[in-house]
């Protein structure tokens, strides 16, 4: 099982959805990074279920940093962070039926019937909690260097937020302060109504998250195989329910002339910029100093209460009604997870750049 992410900076996760605890180990963090426990809790709160649009399983997410910190600052040792699972309910998983859209069947076959399938086991979205907690340190560290990271809900089930031509720090601040980050507050009402209707109909909905990285220095990215797009995509595709990533113009590149897609360079008062940002601040897999902009496609939550056709562990055809506590939409909760993995990826590339 591959539980470690990163090249110079390493992140290793452990645990499972219904295990006693989950956690993360970060290796090769810079020394002297401030550990703000309030900010860690703030980030975890954004990932936590909130309101009628989320699951009824609400964990406290009380965390403990067991190593790697001295007097409130990282000390260069591996940082180990643990979160206890307190609200798991395994009763709904006593008779295993492979849930459509989940990894129950593939895990069961791959691990020869030994995988813990309760709540998705090690592949559950629950595993993103320690990622968010540990990456909070990195987000603050990057902020101190002037690098801003933020994500917002771009759309939910076809309801779209306003377009953003040039992302600003004020926008990022607005998104980062909200558990339902969106530009147009009126669209939030429409989106929540769509989620509510899906839940009432025993169904779920998906959507898009748009992410931004501001003030990233020129030169980050290690082509060929560790390009900036490759590294970001590798990290973010590890999030359950992610099904696509589109940089800049995205699918529009397929129908756009080169003269339209190219971003013209200009020197404005000694600063190199591009007049457009169709390529999302990346050329040849390397950052060019413009904002990094990309969309992440989040599929509808596969755990729905509607009757579905499936098979059980004996490979018998059955009809399934999923019990338990599940989100009708996870798009809003995914934003902070995406931000966390962006931050990890950026710091990893920065540390690699220092070695060159």
Cβ(164)–Cβ(226) below 8 Å: no
Which residues have CB under 8 Å from 47's CB, separation 6+? 61, 128, 129, 132, 333, 336, 337
Looking at residue 141, what DSSP letter applies? H
- Residues 132-147 have a mean pLDDT of 98
CB contact burial 259-270 (16+ within 10 A = b; e otherwise): eeeebeeeeeee
Residue 165 has pLDDT above 70, yes or no: yes
- Mean of all residue pLDDT scores within the chain: 94
Beta pairing class for 159-160 and 148-156: antiparallel
pLDDT for 96? 83
pLDDT score at 14: 96
- pLDDT confidence of residue 49: 84
Which tens digits make up the pLDDT trace of 19-47? 999 999 999 999 999 999 999 999 999 99
Q: What is the DSSP letter of 163?
A: P
Q: Helices (DSSP H) in 48-121: which residue ranges? A: 104-110
Asked if residue 95 has pLDDT above 80, the reply is no
356 band by pLDDT with thresholds 50, 70 and 90: confident
Place 12 in a pLDDT band, splitting at 50, 70 and 90.
Answer: very high
Q: What is the pLDDT of residues 257-280, one digit of tens each?
A: 999 999 999 999 999 999 999 999
CATH of the domain at 197: 3.60.150.10
Can you give the pLDDT at residue 121?
85
The predicted model gives 217-245 an average pLDDT of 97
Global pTM? 0.95
Q: How many domains does the chain contain in total?
A: 1
- pLDDT tens per residue, range 289-344: 999 999 999 999 999 999 999 999 999 999 998 876 689 999 999 999 999 999 99
DSSP state letter for 126: G
CA 35/CA 12 separation, integer angstroms: 19
| Domain encompassing residue 347 | 4-354
Question: Is the pLDDT reported for residue 91 higher than 80?
Answer: no
């Amino acid at each position: 099982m591959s539980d470690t992410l990163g090249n110079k900076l390493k992140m290793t996760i452990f645990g499972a959805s219904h295990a006693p605890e989950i956690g993360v180990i970060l290796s090769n963090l810079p020394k002297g990074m401030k550990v703000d426990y309030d900010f860690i809790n703030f980030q975890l709160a954004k990932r936590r279920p909130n309101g009628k649009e989320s699951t009824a399983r609400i964990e406290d997410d009380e965390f403990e940093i067991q190593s790697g910190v001295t007097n409130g600052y990282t000390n260069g040792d591996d940082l180990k962070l643990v979160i206890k699972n307190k609200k798991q309910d395994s009763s709904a998983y006593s008779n295993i039926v492979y849930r459509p859209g989940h990894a129950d069947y593939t895990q069961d076959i791959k691990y020869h019937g030994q995988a813990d399938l309760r709540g998705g086991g090690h592949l559950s979205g629950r595993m993103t909690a320690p990622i968010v907690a540990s990456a909070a340190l990195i987000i603050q560290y990057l902020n101190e260097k002037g690098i801003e990271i933020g994500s917002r809900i771009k759309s939910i089930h076809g309801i779209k937020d306003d377009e953003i031509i040039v992302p600003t720090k004020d926008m990022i601040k607005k998104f980062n302060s909200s558990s339902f980050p969106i530009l147009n507050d009126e669209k939030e009402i429409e989106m929540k109504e769509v989620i509510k209707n899906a839940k009432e109909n025993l169904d779920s909905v998906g959507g898009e998250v748009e992410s931004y990285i501001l003030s990233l220095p020129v030169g980050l990215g290690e082509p060929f195989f560790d390009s900036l797009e490759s590294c970001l995509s590798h990290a973010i595709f590890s999030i359950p329910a992610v099904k696509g990533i589109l940089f800049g113009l995205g699918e529009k590149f397929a129908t756009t002339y080169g003269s339209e897609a190219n971003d013209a360079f200009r020197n404005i008062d000694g600063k190199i910029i591009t007049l457009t940002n169709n390529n999302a601040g990346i050329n040849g897999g390397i950052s060019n100093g413009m904002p990094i902009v990309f969309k992440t496609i989040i599929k509808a939550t596969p755990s729905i209460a509607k009757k579905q056709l499936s098979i059980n562990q004996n490979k018998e055809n059955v009809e399934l009604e999923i019990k338990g506590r599940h989100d009708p939409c996870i798009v809003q909760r995914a934003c902070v997870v995406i931000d966390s993995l962006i931050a990890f990826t950026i710091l990893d590339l920065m540390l690699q750049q220092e070695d060159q």
